[in-house]
Structure 1
Amino acid sequence: MPEYCTSIINLRYKDGSVGTASNPEMFNRQSFEKLKRDSLRRGSLFVDHTFPPDRNSLGAVPTMQQWQQQQVKWQRPADVKRLMGLESEASFLVDGASRLDFGQGLIANCWFLAAIGSLTLHKELLVQVVPHNQSFEDYAGIFHFRFWTFGRWVDVVIDDFLPTFQNQLLSVKSKSVNEFWVPLLEKAYAKLCGSYADMHAGNPSEAFKDFCGGVFMNYELKNKHDYDHDDELWGCLSRASDCKSMIGCGTFAAGGVAANTLSKTGLVDWHAYSVTGVTEVTHRGSTVRLVRLLNPWGRQEWSGKWSDKSELWNEVSFEDRENLVKQDDGEFWMQLEDYCHNFNYIAICCENPNFMDGDLTCQWKCMSYNGRWIAGKSAGGGPWESTFHMNPQFRINVSSVNGENMDNNNLLLSLMQKTVQNRNNASKNTMGFSIYKLPESTNAGKVDPRHLRNNLVRQSYFTTDREVMELIKVEPGEYVVIPHHQYSNCSGDFLLTVYTKAASEDLGITQLQRLLNETLLDGKTNGFDLTTCRSLVAFSNPRGTSGKIDFPLFAKLWEECIGYKELFHQCDADRSGALSLSETVNAAHSRGIAVGSHTIRMLSFRYSGFNNQVPLEGFVALMLQLDSNNSRDVYEFEYYENDIDDDFYEMSIFF
């Protein structure tokens, strides 16, 4: 069962509000549709004056000398190909997005490229970040990408001028020379950060967060191994893989050695990698745990045990040997023990916290609040400061969940300090948060400092990083969370997010409608109406009469919807955003559905729009009906609608 769906049910905003996945906020107030339409009407190519093709957008790149930066030229993809002596047409995507599509250039942003490598493994996240209805057809020199930033999704518009040096792309390069989705994605993220130079150095977890808005955990690998926690680490890696997590890691910074120096093991020092898989093989009667990694350079691989050229692969079964691909693509396998010895940390990010403690069946409820520390008013500093009580306070109630194992963690807190552009120039203060249990007799309102004494539940670690996160176990009751800086009178903005475990609930028709419209749709569509959602529930649960769908069935339905969406875009040959009758017939036949054109024509009329073409939401319902009829008997059913609002925990905010 795809456990990542648990977050989709509970961790979304109200459908349609600005800043959601379905309605991202316009970054710099730029509307992609309007700007492209205006450029096409004028017959000119778009130039982004908010991130112009000049030295300000490049920034002072630490890995380049001054004379090199002066020779950087900005070229559009067609001009880049001409400089390289290539005649083929530029393309946005060629044969889909793959983790093996690209290699790092002169910008030291391996952390970001490692995150892209992980992103390509999760198509449902990839299409949110990289809208796939983009191409060099109907070309206007404009593209757009979406990122989660400090609690809101933003749509970032760019022109397609790319920095080049000595007739080559300066930064990330696609291995398919006419494919440009990765360099354009990199440019959009550079715009979000402030410049290309502001992407210099980082942790994959930062980009992971901006790709999904989920939760992350960093592990120090050597400590895990030295304290004999390999089983715990392997369990976490396996759960993370099952939960569709993005996973990255980094090597040690060797003393006296510059970053990105190739070591004798084939690994690169002080360098970020993607974790692209985990598996177990049987070798001489023993189980060996293997981790698959990808170097964002697109080359240079581990040369030790279980590497591409290791003789150990000749001593395992043919099925296990199939895991090995012998080519210099930067991807390789390592044994878990070697992995822990050679890598410093691992970063795991998922849309929900389930991978952290192994409780994969639960759901989580989420509440976020944007706050501010104001010097002299609400910037009270750490618990040792006499002004500590001046900090913002957040009172939360944690309820027991029927059937919950009280040994499991049930509360996750995330505190992010907001920064403004430019990313690497932003001043970051040392921050953390404190959690206190409140006595039952505590009055409403801001908590008196006397109630905080001797009631500390958890003090987070202090960090200058962008985010601090803690997963803990607490008893049912009322708590107060106090975010704070280490020292008083330090102003700044923050985002506090609280996740609490919730009982598994069935999904109602209106909840399903809101979820599908927010997370599944893109392009030209009117959205899923209630009638279509009733049909989806009925086809998924033909014996049900409640008008609801339980979580296991929803998880299966969600996987099917993702597959239908991919099929829809594959069969939309003219990229119109809707399927003609012939395209719909081809789609059904590609699924191996033995049904005549007349039947599909009748269903198409039912699910088509005013122009007799089938939009995505109609196609999903049509295909689900065909698949249902193709695989089982059709049962009689009734429809019931039950309007249930999202049940989020209330939070009281005090200053």
Structure 2
Amino acid sequence: MPPPRVNNPPRNEPTTKDEKGSLTKPIKFLDQDYLELRKNCLINKRRYEDEMFPPDNSSIDPQKTLGLKLDQVKWLRPSEIVKDPQLTVDGVSRFDYSQGSLGNCWFLASVGALTFQRDIVDQVMPTDQSFGKDYAGIFHFKFWRFGKWFDVVIDDKLPTIKRKLIFVHSKTSNEFWPALLEKAYAKVCGSYADMKSGKVSEALKEFTGGVQICYDLKTAPTDLWNLMDRAVNAKALMGCGTLKGETPEQKLPNGIIQGHAYTVTGVFKVTYQGKPVKLVRVLNPWGKGEWIGDWSDKSPLWSKVSQKDQSMCRSLANDGEFWMSMEDFTKSFEDLDICCLRPDFLDGSSECIWTSTCFNGSWDAGTTAGGCINNRDTFWTNPQFRVRISEDSATENILVSLMQKHEDRHRSLNSNYAIGFSVYAIPPEASKI
């Protein structure tokens, strides 16, 4: 039986660099043109103020769920906060910022992973902007959403109370890239409050346009550390999360925070008492609060490894970053997200070539929403897409990623529905149907 039709036909044509929605030709979010808006500001000698994400309470917390004293909020430009504002100071680093009064650790854990890849940072935060030449109080950032890149324009007015930034803030007082990046993402989400709670994978994908793979650490493959090691070499971005406790963000005796997102910043193998020990390095986006068990900053185990390994790994700074064994990592965290532009690490080979194809479809009541395999009478009506692998192809792996596209701009108002997919081999005799 042929596959049912869907509202949006599958897209098989290859993506070109100049295609609308590509990195080189991103879609203008809310139809705002950064270059045109900046040009008008410079001609009229005024600083930009964004009408689509205004500096008022509607952009912070329209539903009043954060418990902030909104009557005390003042929106200030960086030049009104410090004398010499800079977008970045000595580049970008995972140690630049600390989380503010917003439960968006999932977003900041993703930012921590982002800072390792300078080329991706330059995609997300274009280099054609600063507080110097042609400054007009306007900035822009690029995010990937459901197969397309968007260019998001913001003004640089930031919410403060008593001249202090309410949300994410840099540890260097005159550095503002973390706060401006967070504001741009808040605009995409609908408001700052719409960023509350989420998964690391969400922002990782929207920073990269890459493929995300999630591993349940309770059932993780035995070679997971080796996969992580290959992922690091493939310049993948990684994050992890802990199980929720009875009390939100409760600190356990071992220093780990429950219901919290972290960045995975590296893996390393040391020799301890003649045996190899596989370690994982993790970062708390709060910028403080660390694991205090084996292989933590002050663990006595470090004194029994070589000075070379100590100098490469050990740090006594209270910066939120720490090492732990792979065994403790899988016990302490619930899941691991790996996001990469090309999932080369799955093959363990740098010579593989990956191609991608995007299909668009929908589940519509009464026509293409057939339910799971238990609904045998209607299951076949679900959207179907065929992937052909030629016999002479060198293909060894196929990776399928399913995304759920939301309709409401406000992230917190969207519902995540239970969706999934099944993969079936088509018998040779049915391949021509």
Give the TM-score, by structure 2 length.
0.91
Larger relative contact order (C-alpha < 8 A, sep ≥ 6)? 2
2:319 to 312, 329, 340: 329
Q: CA deviation at 1:63?
A: 6.9
Q: CA deviation at 1:389?
A: 3.3
Contact persistence 2:288–2:318 (CA under 8 A): yes
Q: Per-residue CA shift, 1:47-66, capped at 9, x if unaligned?
A: 11111111221125787325
Matched, 1:197 2:186: no
Determine the structure 2 residue equivalent to 1:50.
52
Matched, 1:439 2:427: yes
Q: Describe the shift of the 1:40–1:385 C-alpha distance in structure 2 as closer, same or farther (beyond 3 A).
A: farther
Matched, 1:246 2:237: yes
SS at the partner of 1:293? strand
Determine the structure 2 residue equivalent to 1:624.
none
Contact persistence 1:379–1:390 (CA under 8 A): yes
Q: CA deviation at 1:304?
A: 1.5
Contact persistence 2:129–2:135 (CA under 8 A): no
Q: Per-residue CA shift, 1:27-47, capped at 9, x if unaligned?
A: 111110000000111111111
Matched, 1:232 2:234: no
SS at the partner of 2:286? coil
Q: Per-residue CA shift, 1:461-503, capped at 9, x if unaligned?
A: xxxxxxxxxxxxxxxxxxxxxxxxxxxxxxxxxxxxxxxxxxx
Matched, 1:280 2:276: no
Q: CA deviation at 1:289?
A: 1.1
SS at the partner of 1:273? strand
Q: Per-residue CA shift, 1:384-427, capped at 9, x if unaligned?
A: 153333333222211245666xxx5x222122110131112112
SS at the partner of 2:403? strand
1:210 to 206, 209, 219: 206
Contact persistence 2:106–2:262 (CA under 8 A): yes
Q: Describe the shift of the 1:12–1:444 C-alpha distance in structure 2 as closer, same or farther (beyond 3 A).
A: closer
1:303 to 292, 310, 320: 292
Instruction: Report which of the two has the higher share of helix.
Output: 1
For the residues of structure 2 that align with 1:23 and 1:275, how far apart are their CA atoms?
Answer: 32
Q: Describe the shift of the 1:389–1:41 C-alpha distance in structure 2 as closer, same or farther (beyond 3 A).
A: same
Q: Describe the shift of the 1:299–1:173 C-alpha distance in structure 2 as closer, same or farther (beyond 3 A).
A: same
Determine the structure 2 residue equivalent to 1:31.
33
Q: CA deviation at 1:436?
A: 2.9
Q: CA deviation at 1:348?
A: 0.7
Q: Please show how residues 368-517 of structure 1 align to structure 2 within 5 Å.
A: 368-383=358-373, 384=375, 386-401=377-392, 408=396, 410-420=397-407, 421-442=409-430
Q: CA deviation at 1:371?
A: 2.2
Matched, 1:179 2:142: no
Code of the aligned partner of 2:286? W
For the residues of structure 2 that align with 1:267 and 1:342, how far apart are their CA atoms?
Answer: 8
Code of the aligned partner of 1:324? R
SS at the partner of 1:277? strand
Q: Describe the shift of the 1:306–1:435 C-alpha distance in structure 2 as closer, same or farther (beyond 3 A).
A: closer
Q: Describe the shift of the 1:63–1:341 C-alpha distance in structure 2 as closer, same or farther (beyond 3 A).
A: farther
Q: CA deviation at 1:74?
A: 1.6
Matched, 1:264 2:285: no
Q: CA deviation at 1:75?
A: 1.5
Q: CA deviation at 1:292?
A: 0.9
Determine the structure 2 residue equivalent to 1:79.
80
SS at the partner of 2:385? strand
Determine the structure 2 residue equivalent to 1:89.
84
SS at the partner of 2:270? strand
Determine the structure 1 residue equivalent to 2:135.
139
Q: CA deviation at 1:100?
A: 0.7
Q: Per-residue CA shift, 1:2-39, capped at 9, x if unaligned?
A: xxxxxxxxx97212111011111111111100000001
RMSD, matched Cα: 2.0
Q: Describe the shift of the 1:346–1:443 C-alpha distance in structure 2 as closer, same or farther (beyond 3 A).
A: closer
Q: Describe the shift of the 1:188–1:12 C-alpha distance in structure 2 as closer, same or farther (beyond 3 A).
A: farther
Code of the aligned partner of 2:172? S
2:215 to 213, 219, 224: 219
Determine the structure 1 residue equivalent to 2:4.
none
Q: Per-residue CA shift, 1:247-266, capped at 9, x if unaligned?
A: 10112222x22x22222212
For the residues of structure 2 that align with 1:343 and 1:379, how far apart are their CA atoms?
Answer: 35
For the residues of structure 2 that align with 1:441 and 1:219, how far apart are their CA atoms?
Answer: 36
Code of the aligned partner of 1:29? D
Q: CA deviation at 1:98?
A: 0.8
Q: CA deviation at 1:288?
A: 1.2
Determine the structure 2 residue equivalent to 1:509.
none
For the residues of structure 1 that align with 2:237 and 2:108, how far apart are their CA atoms?
Answer: 12
Q: CA deviation at 1:97?
A: 0.7
Aligned length: 417
Determine the structure 2 residue equivalent to 1:22.
24
* Percent identical: 45
Q: Per-residue CA shift, 1:276-306, capped at 9, x if unaligned?
A: 1100111221111111111111111111111
SS at the partner of 2:427? coil
Matched, 1:121 2:111: no
Code of the aligned partner of 1:134? Q
Matched, 1:99 2:94: yes
SS at the partner of 1:64? coil
- In structure 1, stretches of 5+ residues that fail to align are 1-10, 82-87, 446-655
2:334 to 322, 329, 344: 344
For the residues of structure 2 that align with 1:102 and 1:375, how far apart are their CA atoms?
Answer: 46
Q: Describe the shift of the 1:381–1:402 C-alpha distance in structure 2 as closer, same or farther (beyond 3 A).
A: closer
Q: Please show how residues 603-622 of structure 1 align to structure 2 within 5 Å.
A: none
Matched, 1:364 2:366: no
For the residues of structure 2 that align with 1:61 and 1:329, how far apart are their CA atoms?
Answer: 34
Determine the structure 2 residue equivalent to 1:320.
309
Q: CA deviation at 1:360?
A: 4.1
Q: Describe the shift of the 1:61–1:107 C-alpha distance in structure 2 as closer, same or farther (beyond 3 A).
A: farther
For the residues of structure 1 that align with 2:232 and 2:307, how far apart are their CA atoms?
Answer: 23
Determine the structure 2 residue equivalent to 1:162.
158
Q: Please show how residues 473-622 of structure 1 align to structure 2 within 5 Å.
A: none
Give the TM-score, by structure 1 length.
0.61
Q: Describe the shift of the 1:63–1:429 C-alpha distance in structure 2 as closer, same or farther (beyond 3 A).
A: closer
